[in-house]
C-alpha cells in the first residue's frame, strides 16, 4: 500500500501548500529512484509467488497493489527517459538545428549508465579532483568554495559556478550540483561550488553580493586550477536558480558590489534549474502569491523590506535585459514548491527582450530538486546542460544572437 501510494504521488503529486513538503519528499525520491523501486517491487512479488505465499485475500490484494505499483513506476521511469527528447527539443529550438556540430566536442550519446544508477549516492569520478574549502572572501565557512577539475588539470578551461538551493535559509555546496560538477569537470571544464551567507542571519542582497565576490575571486584565481577567467557560466537550483539568474541579469550594477565596484562579475551563460523568478507576485500566479505572502520572504528580505519595491529589486523578472547572456532554463511539471508556470512566464518575457538564445526544457513528471543525485533524468539533464554550455563556449556559439542561432 505504501509503495502504491508513493508511486501514485510520483505520477500525480498531491497539490496544495499544506502538503507541499511531504508531497515533494516522497515524490522526489520515488521519481528519481523509480528503476530501483520497480526492481525491488517486482522481485518481492516474484519471490512471494514462487514460495507459495499468496494464500489469503489479503495476499491477493497485496499482489494486486504490487501490480499497480509496478505499472505506475514503469510510467515514472518512462517519463524520466523522456527527458532526453525534451532536452534535445529545447536545445534545437533555441540554438538551431546545427547546434550539435557547433560545439568543440561531440554531443552525449544518450546511453543510460545503468552501472552508475545501481549506486546513485556514490558520486565520484576517477578522472576528477575536488579541491575543498577554498576561501573566496573573509567570513568563515559560508564563504568557502570547492573546485572541481580533471585530474590532468586542463589549461584555459571554461568555468562553471554552482550555487546551491535551500530556500535561502539552508543548504550546502556539499549536497547539491555534484553530478553536474563531475560531468563538467570530466569534460575538461573547471567547476566551482560555493557556500554563501544564509537568512535570517543575513538578509538580501547579502547572498548575491557574496556570489559576486566569488566571481571576482574566480577571475583572479581560476587559472591556478586550469580555468579561463574570461569565461564563467553559472548554474543553480531553486534558491540557487534564483541567485544564478540574478547574477546573470545584474552585471555591472555597482550597488550590488560594495567595496569591489570595479570588479568584472559578468557571466557568459546561465542555466538555472527550477528557480524562483517572481519575488513580487506580479505574474498573478496563485502559488507565487502564496509564497510572496508567506513568512519566508521577511526572513530573506528582512522585516523592514518594503512591498513591492524591495521585493521587485530581488526579482529576476524586474531585471530582464537585452544583453542577458544565453540562458538554459529547466523546470519540472510536477514541482511542488515552484510552479512550472513561473518558469514559463520568465522564459516568455526573457525571450521577448534578449538578443541571445533562451532555451527552455520542461520536464514531464520532474519534481523539485530532481538533480541532487544521479538518476535517469538528472544524468540526461546534466549532459544537456553540458552540451548547451559547450555550444556557448565554442567559437561559433559564444556570443551568437538568437537570430543567428535560428538561421543555423
- Hey, which residues are catalytic here? 238, 335, 368
Q: Does residue 137 contact residue 143 with C-beta atoms inside 8 Å?
A: yes
Report the C-alpha gap between 281 and 290 in whole angstroms: 8
Is residue 363 exposed (0-12), middle (13-18) or buried (19+ Cβ within 10 Å)? Answer: buried
Query: Pairing between strand 358-363 and 327-332?
Result: parallel
Do you find a cis peptide bond into 58, omega within 30 degrees of 0? no
Half-sphere exposure (Cβ direction) of 3: Cα atoms closer than 13 Å: 24
Query: Pairing between strand 144-150 and 128-135?
Result: antiparallel
Q: Report in angstroms the alpha-carbon separations of 99 from 169, 246, 315, 357, 389.
A: 38, 26, 31, 12, 11
CB contact burial 372-396 (16+ within 10 A = b; e otherwise): bbbbbbbbbbbbbbbbbbbbbbbee
Report the C-alpha gap between 334 and 306 in whole angstroms: 32
Is residue 75 exposed (0-12), middle (13-18) or buried (19+ Cβ within 10 Å)? Answer: middle
Half-sphere exposure (Cβ direction) of 44: Cα atoms closer than 13 Å: 16
- Residue 361, helix vs strand vs coil: strand
**Helix (H) / strand (E) containing 267:** none
CB contact burial 146-185 (16+ within 10 A = b; e otherwise): bbbbbeeebeebbbbbbbbbbebeebebeebbbbbbbbbb
Amino acid at each position: 500500500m505504501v509503495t502504491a501510494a508513493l508511486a501514485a504521488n510520483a505520477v500525480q503529486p498531491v497539490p496544495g501548500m499544506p502538503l507541499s513538503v511531504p508531497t515533494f519528499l516522497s515524490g522526489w525520491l520515488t521519481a528519481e529512484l523509480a528503476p530501483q523501486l520497480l526492481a525491488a517491487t517486482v522481485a518481492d512479488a516474484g519471490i512471494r509467488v514462487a514460495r507459495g505465499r499468496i494464500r489469503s485475500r489479503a495476499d491477493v490484494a497485496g499482489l494486486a497493489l504490487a501490480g499497480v505499483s509496478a505499472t505506475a513506476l514503469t510510467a515514472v521511469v518512462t517519463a524520466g527517459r523522456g527527458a532526453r527528447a525534451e532536452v534535445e527539443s529545447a536545445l534545437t529550438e533555441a540554438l538551431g538545428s546545427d547546434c550539435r556540430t557547433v560545439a568543440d566536442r561531440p554531443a552525449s550519446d544518450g546511453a543510460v549508465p545503468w552501472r552508475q544508477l545501481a549506486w546513485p549516492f556514490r558520486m565520484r569520478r576517477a578522472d576528477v579532483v575536488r579541491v575543498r574549502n577554498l576561501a573566496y572572501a573573509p567570513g568563515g565557512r559560508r564563504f568557502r568554495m570547492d573546485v572541481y577539475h580533471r585530474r590532468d588539470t586542463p589549461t584555459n578551461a571554461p568555468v562553471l559556478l554552482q550555487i546551491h538551493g535551500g530556500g535561502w535559509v539552508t543548504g550546502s555546496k556539499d549536497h547539491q550540483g555534484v553530478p553536474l560538477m563531475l560531468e563538467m569537470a570530466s569534460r575538461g571544464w573547471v567547476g566551482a561550488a560555493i557556500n554563501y551567507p544564509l537568512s535570517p542571519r543575513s538578509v538580501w542582497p547579502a547572498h548575491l553580493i557574496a556570489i559576486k565576490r566569488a566571481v571576482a575571486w574566480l577571475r583572479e584565481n581560476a587559472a591556478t586550477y586550469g580555468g579561463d577567467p574570461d569565461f564563467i557560466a553559472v548554474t543553480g537550483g531553486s534558491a540557487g536558480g534564483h541567485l544564478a539568474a540574478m547574477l546573470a541579469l545584474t552585471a555591472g550594477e555597482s550597488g550590488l558590489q560594495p567595496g569591489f565596484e570595479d570588479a568584472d562579475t559578468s557571466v557568459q551563460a546561465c542555466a538555472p534549474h527550477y528557480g524562483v523568478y517572481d519575488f513580487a507576485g506580479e505574474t498573478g500566479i496563485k502559488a507565487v502569491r502564496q509564497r510572496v505572502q508567506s513568512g519566508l520572504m521577511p526572513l530573506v528580505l528582512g522585516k523592514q523590506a518594503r512591498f513591492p519595491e524591495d521585493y521587485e529589486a530581488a526579482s529576476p523578472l524586474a531585471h530582464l535585459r537585452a544583453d542577458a547572456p544565453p540562458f538554459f532554463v529547466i523546470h519540472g511539471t510536477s514541482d511542488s514548491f515552484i510552479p512550472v508556470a513561473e518558469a514559463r512566464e520568465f522564459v516568455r518575457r526573457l525571450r521577448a527582450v534578449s538578443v541571445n538564445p533562451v532555451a527552455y526544457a520542461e520536464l514531464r513528471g520532474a519534481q523539485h530538486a530532481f538533480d541532487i543525485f544521479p538518476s535517469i533524468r538528472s544524468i540526461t539533464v546534466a549532459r544537456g546542460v553540458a552540451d548547451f554550455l559547450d555550444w556557448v563556449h565554442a567559437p561559433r556559439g559564444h556570443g551568437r544572437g538568437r537570430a543567428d542561432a535560428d538561421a543555423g
